[in-house]
């Protein structure tokens, strides 16, 4: 059974998520649940792709707000799927204005995670 592990940066940002963008917040988490259900049903990580998923460097996946309704601000939930431990790390969440920094942060998170697992 796959687990979801919220990381510190995600928790910090999620806790401060603007009230005016709650629909976007709900939409990305609904999409995360769709992905999680597929994995828990036995789908392979490499074969499970939805229109709301975007591949980023170092195996990071960005889950967006698609399917959440019209007029939503572009939002991304950055996750890392650790296949060996069956954990989805929630790394950070942001919008288009923080996208570049969020991707850099997520890639650095995965690099540090890999170093910790090797030692």
The pLDDT tens digits for 50-108 are: 999 999 999 999 999 999 999 999 999 999 999 999 999 999 999 999 999 999 999 99
CATH number of the domain that 65 lies in? 3.30.2310
Domain extent for 97: 3-118
**Number of domains the chain is built from:** 1
pTM summary value: 0.96
Position 114 pLDDT exceeds 80? yes
Per-residue pLDDT, 117: 83
Could you give the 3-state DSSP secondary structure of residue 5? Answer: strand
Instruction: Give me 55's structure tokens.
Output: 């591949």
Which residue is associated with the tokens 């401060």?
16
Per-residue pLDDT, 30: 98
Position 119 pLDDT exceeds 80? no
Per-residue pLDDT, 8: 97
Beta strand residue intervals within 12-84, DSSP E: 53-55, 60-64, 75-82
């Amino acid at each position: 059974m796959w687990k979801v592990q919220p990381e510190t940066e995600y928790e910090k940002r999620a806790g401060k998520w603007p009230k005016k963008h709650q629909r976007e917040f709900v939409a990305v988490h609904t999409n995360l649940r769709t992905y999680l259900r597929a994995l828990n049903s036995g789908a392979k990580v490499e074969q499970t792709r939805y229109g709301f998923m975007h591949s980023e460097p170092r195996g990071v996946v960005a889950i967006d707000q698609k399917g959440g309704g019209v007029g939503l601000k572009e939002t991304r939930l950055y996750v890392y799927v650790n296949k060996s431990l069956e954990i989805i790390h929630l790394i950070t969440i942001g919008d288009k204005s923080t996208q570049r920094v969020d991707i850099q942060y997520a890639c650095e998170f995965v690099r540090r995670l890999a170093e910790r697992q090797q030692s």
